[in-house]
Chain A
Amino acid sequence: TQLLEQSPQFLSIQEGENLTVYCNSSSVFSSLQWYRQEPGEGPVLLVTVVTGGEVKKLKRLTFQFGDARKDSSLHITAAQPGDTGLYLCAGDSQGAQKLVFGQGTRLTINP
């Protein structure tokens, strides 16, 4: 069974601070996706990383895929209260043909 360890699971910081969320596995994934989920709604895709070492930016969010395609990180610069939410990483294994989710990071940005 492929597992994704996501950390931290809870994070509460002040507005304007920077933060990084990590997603690690001992398995190789063909791609890794980051989602954001609001209460009572389904996850919404933020980004998909496919190539080892790939870096993608989405405004103040920077996503990186590890060289070996086993880990990924999400870095948020100058966090804002609107960034509050549940962030989920998920790995796509073509062999297993399904998406495996990490435990999630519940992020709270305090004004």
Chain B
Amino acid sequence: GAVVSQHPSRVICKSGTSVKIECRSLDFQATTMFWYRQFPKQSLMLMATSNEGSKATYEQGVEKDKFLINHASLTLSTLTVTSAHPEDSSFYICSARGTGLNYGYTFGSGTRLTVV
């Protein structure tokens, strides 16, 4: 079945630095990738949708300059949290959607970001 690899699984960074999270579709081409944020004991909140080769579409209330999304290829999307602050600490999850038989949503295993 379709597999999505998300890296790193955990990261601790200092306040003010930037962190990049990668999301790769391993065995299918992901025409669309999604980035979610999940706070403790809560559901997934969609941050943005990215289509390969296009600018990401951000959900209302999500700062596009803080959460930079790049989807330069059909198998890779990255989320960069810029100038991270403790309130950016969260669980970030990506999802990839292909076409045809791979149309369904496949989720990565998530990245736990802690900003100290």
Q: Chain A interface secondary structure, helix, strand, loop or mixed?
A: strand
Q: A27 within 8 Å of B by Cβ?
A: no
A40 lies within 8 A of B104 (CB): no
Q: Is the CB of A101 within 8 A of B49?
A: no
Q: Given A44, A92, A101, which contacts B44 in the complex, CB threshold below 8 Å?
A: A101
**How many chain A residues have a CB neighbour from B under 8 Å?**
22
Task: Output the nearest chain B residue to A96 by Cβ-Cβ distance.
Answer: B49
Q: Answer yes or no: B6 CB below 8 A from chain A CBs.
A: yes
- Given the complex of chains A and B, what is the CA–CA distance between A103 and B112 in angstroms? 20
| Residues of B contacting A45 in the complex (Cβ-Cβ under 8 angstroms) | 104-107
Across the interface, do B6 and A42 meet the contact criterion of CB distance under 8 Å?
Answer: yes
| Cβ B109 vs Cβ A42 within 8 A | yes
Structural contact, A40 and B110, CB atoms closer than 8 A: yes
- Inter-chain CA distance A42–B2, complex, in Å, is 14
A33 within 8 A of B: yes
Whether A98 and B34, one on each chain, are in contact in the complex, defined by CB atoms closer than 8 angstroms, is yes
Q: State in angstroms the CA–CA spacing of A104 and B110 once bound together.
A: 17
Shortest B107–chain A CB gap in Å is 4
Chain B 8-47, CB-CB to A under 8 Å as 1, else 0, gives 0000000000000000000000001010100001111110
Give residues in A with beta carbon < 8 Å to B. 6, 33, 35, 40-45, 48, 88, 90, 92, 97-104, 106
